[in-house]
Amino acid sequence: MNPFKYGMVVSGKDFCGRKALLKQICDHIISSQRLVILGERRVGKTSAVCEAVNRCKNVRLLYVDLLGIKSVDGMCRRILKAIIVQEQKKGWFEKILKTLAHLRPSISVDPITSLPTVSFDSSIELKADSIPEVFNLIESLGKKQILVVVFDEFQDILNLADAHEALALLRGEIQFQGKTSFIFVGSIRHKMEEIFTNHDSPFFKSAITFMVDTLPYKEFSEFLNNKFSQGHRKVDDKVLEKAFQIAENIPGDIQQLCGAIWEITAEKEMISIDKLKNAIELVFAREQKSYESYIRLLTNIQLKVLTAIAKEGGSQVFSAAFMKPSGFTNPSTVRRAVNRLLQLNILFKGGGEYRFVNPFFRAWIMYHG
């Protein structure tokens, strides 16, 4: 079986490093603090938070993923579902269903996981005035153990039409729950900053912030080497160095690339740098369709700007040295293209430069452009 895991939360023996961070998160949970966890996509935020909770003794986790929520109704439903997943102990389960009877819950068993799943009558719309009720239920979970509530992809709250009101209500409820620890996890940096540091935001200065950074080369490469040797393969150091570089040090992308290397090699093989090319081609082949659908969304100018950023990097995109080789003279043309690429989530702004959200897409464009 392929030992490299990506696109999922990793824990236990699949979790590498971050000892100090895990301890800090755990200490703060025990003292019922509010934390903000920030970092790039696929760097390991969700895994770090979940692993910290796992390693904390006597702590209960309520994990709510807010990715893509569009309304207060959607947010409340996500929280209620998370509570129900937690409360599969029978007595509780029934009690909670009774409390929520007005939402006409119906229970079914997921045929794949055999876990009960709940759906609520979709004709009933939960409004902001349901938030206190939802938080009463959350509070009831924390009676016996320390409770930690994790809101993942928290920045998506800003998608709500009435985001400000929802944030104010949430903050009120959260302040009221002194014994519960709350962790807000977010990827899109400036949006999280808008929530937590903007002066008119109701969350202003309400939490301690941690950054989840990429894993150090030495520690992570040893971890990866170990996985290769479990399958009786040995990798040349250069292969991993280059893989880190292509994947721009992002742990999730490095694991994806190692997974591809694994697939194209056999037991007892000594893996040298020439194999990396085949592994990247495998990644390309799998992602080709999504790359092409991105390309179809772009105008010629946008594609030219994207190709130039892939080749030259995205730190000086409005300089003559950047624009001239691509035939641009007007910075506002480049600016419009860049804005569209940000909006499409192809690029993001990090560390003062424009970067590809997906480093393999960057490599693909370099290869084909």
Q: Using CB under 6 A, list all residues that contact ligand ADP.
A: 5-10, 15-18, 39, 41-47, 251-252, 255
* Beta strands 146-152; 59-65: pairing state: parallel
Residue 169 in tokens: 């209500």
Looking at the Cβ atoms of 50 and 141, the one nearer to Mg ion is 50
- Shortest distance, position 146 Cβ to ligand ADP, whole Å: 22
- Shortest distance, position 178 Cβ to ligand ADP, whole Å: 28
- Shortest distance, position 51 Cβ to ligand ADP, whole Å: 7
| H or E element at residue 177 | none
Instruction: Tally DSSP H helices, then E strands, for the chain.
Output: 15, 11
Cα gap 150→148, rounded to integer Å: 6
| Residue 155 in the binding site for Mg ion (CB under 5 A) | no
Looking at the Cβ atoms of 43 and 240, the one nearer to Mg ion is 43
| H or E element at residue 80 | helix 72-86
Looking at the Cβ atoms of 46 and 265, the one nearer to Mg ion is 46
Beta bridge mates, 116? 109
- Shortest distance, position 17 Cβ to ligand ADP, whole Å: 6
Provide the 3-class DSSP secondary structure of residue 170.
helix
State the binding string over 195-224 for Mg ion (x if CB under 5 A, else -): ------------------------------
| Long-range interactions of 352-356: CB distance < 8 A, separation 24+ | 352/315, 353/313, 353/314, 353/315, 354/309, 354/314, 354/315, 354/317, 355/248, 355/314, 356/248, 356/309, 356/310
* Beta strands 116-119; 59-65: pairing state: unpaired
Q: What, of Mg ion, ligand ADP, none, does residue 6 touch, CB below 5 to 8 Å by kind?
A: ligand ADP
Amino acid at 50: C
Q: What, of Mg ion, ligand ADP, none, does residue 111 touch, CB below 5 to 8 Å by kind?
A: none
Q: What, of ligand ADP, Mg ion, none, does residue 5 touch, CB below 5 to 8 Å by kind?
A: ligand ADP
Q: What, of ligand ADP, Mg ion, none, does residue 41 touch, CB below 5 to 8 Å by kind?
A: ligand ADP
| Residue 46 in the binding site for Mg ion (CB under 5 A) | yes
Q: What, of ligand ADP, Mg ion, none, does residue 359 touch, CB below 5 to 8 Å by kind?
A: none
